[in-house]
Amino acid sequence: YDDRDGKIWLDGKLVEWREANVHILTHALHYASSVFEGERAYNGKIFKSVEHSERLLKSGELLDMPIPYTVEEIEKAKYDALAANGFTDAYVRVVAWRGAGADMGVASSKNPVRMAVACWEWGAYYGDAKMKGAKLDIAKWKRPSPETIPTAAKAAGLYMICTMSKHAAEAKGCSDALFFDYRGYVAEATGANVFFVKDGEVHTPIPDAILNGITRQTVIQMLKDKGITVHERHIMPEELAGFEQCWLTGTAAEITPVGQIGDYTFEVGDITRDVAESYEAMVRA
Ligand code: PMP
């Protein structure tokens, strides 16, 4: 991803893609003082753009790392980055981090908080699995307690066990891994939320130890508007055996049907297809 043509927005300026570099003593590289957003532009418009910018600022506050830009400035940065690369349909990655500076210990309040926006064309996150139903491994790691780490932040540090779990899943021929949380409840995938269907009703975990995804919130409202009952509740792993359909939601994942989790199988059924089609129509509306 580093050696290509294009422009990246970095600390207020559009710079050449290859020159968008940071120093090796960047605080974030050593201590995970970094928060980010993943967004998608469709037909020139970033879906739920303001919600993403607001979540970025909130993530920064949760990490005691105030980001020195307003929502309006972040909005402009994203659209400037898209325009500079000539994209109408692209994935947009906004990242903010503690840079190199006066501190090289754990404390970093004297180091500047920096921000960058990169965008690139990124198709279906799960490739073919997107239509056939993805196969998921069950992660050996657990999503941590909100008393251990600020789980509501989209923070780099929360992704270390995601990368490890996704590597383990791919080694077994799976597309992704499903986490349980520190209490043992079904939680989320490494970069997406999870939904289940049973007897025509939808069940999804409460976001009390997971990211309350913007796509998750969009889909819950969409289901309610369709008159489908949604239960946001704690889900036990034993219940996986009784669910008929399953899908993942996320900005990158969009709506991805799940065909298998561990030994449990699911059909790509009516509600899954309906939600996937409605989401596709909504993001392009
Ligand atoms: N959970 C995790 C761990 C994620 O990384 C993501 C992707 N941001 C999601 C859920 C889904 O969030 P969203 O719908 O806001 O993209």
3-state SS, residue 141: strand
Residue 83 resides in a domain: yes
Q: Are 248 and 256 in contact (CB under 8 A)?
A: yes
Domain identity same for 108 and 178: no
| Together in a domain, 172 and 104 | no
Residues 80 and 135 reside in one and the same domain: no
The terminus-to-terminus CA distance of the chain in angstroms comes to 30
Same-domain status, 146 and 113: no
Instruction: Report the chain (285 residues): mean pLDDT per 10 consecutive residues.
Output: 96 98 98 98 98 98 98 98 97 98 93 98 79 94 98 98 98 98 98 98 98 98 98 98 98 96 97 97 95
The reported pLDDT for the residue numbered 132 is 84
The pLDDT of residue 126 is 79
268 and 141 fall within a common domain: yes
Q: Of ligand 1's atoms, which has the minimum distance to the CA of residue 216?
A: 14
CA distances to 111, 121, 133, 174 from 130, in Å: 42, 17, 6, 13
Residue 159 lies in a domain: yes
For ligand 1, whether the C-beta of 143 sits within 6 Å is no
Residue 2 counted as domain residue: no
pTM metric for this prediction: 0.97
The predicted pLDDT at position 202 comes to 98
Domain end residue (candidates: 120, 142, 164): 120
| Shared-domain flag, residues 144 and 233 | yes
CA atoms within 13 A on the CB side of 111: 26
Choose among 159, 152, 57: nearest CA to 113: 57
At residue 217's C-alpha, the angle toward residues 166 and 65, to 5°, is: 70
* 174 and 68 within one domain: no
pLDDT of residue 123: 84
Q: Which amino acid is at 179?
A: F
Active-site residue set: 154
> Is the domain of 139 the same as that of 274?
yes
Is residue 28 in a domain? yes
Q: Are residues 229 and 114 in the same domain?
A: no
Q: Residue 81: its pLDDT value, please?
A: 98
Report the pLDDT value the prediction gives residue 274, as an integer from 0 to 100: 97
Question: How confident is the model at residue 167, as a pLDDT?
Answer: 98
The first and second tokens of residue 259, run together, are 């065909």
Residues 108 and 182 in one domain: no
Residue 116 lies inside a defined structural domain of this protein: yes
**Range of the structural domain that residue 72 is part of:** 7-120
Question: Would residue 1 count as lying in a domain?
Answer: no
38 lines ligand 1 (CB under 6 A): yes
Sign of the CA dihedral 171, 172, 176, 177? Answer: negative
> Domain holding 224: CATH number?
3.20.10.10
Helix (H) or strand (E) holding 263: none
Same domain, 257 and 277: yes
Q: In this predicted structure, what is the pLDDT of residue 131?
A: 74
Residue 230 lies in a domain: yes
> What spacing in Å lies between the alpha carbon of 242 and ligand 1's midpoint?
25
Q: Would you say residue 49 lies in a domain?
A: yes
Ligand 1: atom nearest CA of 48 is: 15
Domain of 34: which CATH number?
Answer: 3.30.470.10
Please tell me if the CB atom of residue 191 comes closer than 6 angstroms to any atom of ligand 1: yes
d(CA 55, CA 3): 30
Phi, psi of 197 (to 5 degrees): -125, 135
| Distance separating alpha carbons of residues 219 and 213, to the nearest angstrom | 10
- Indicate if 192 and 262 belong to the same structural domain: yes
- Ligand 1 touching residue 255 (CB < 6 A): no
Q: Show which of 58, 88, 120 is a domain's final residue.
A: 120
Which of 85, 120, 155 lies at the terminal end of a domain, its last residue? Answer: 120
Number of domains in the chain: 2
Residue with the smallest CA separation from ligand 1 atom 7 is 191
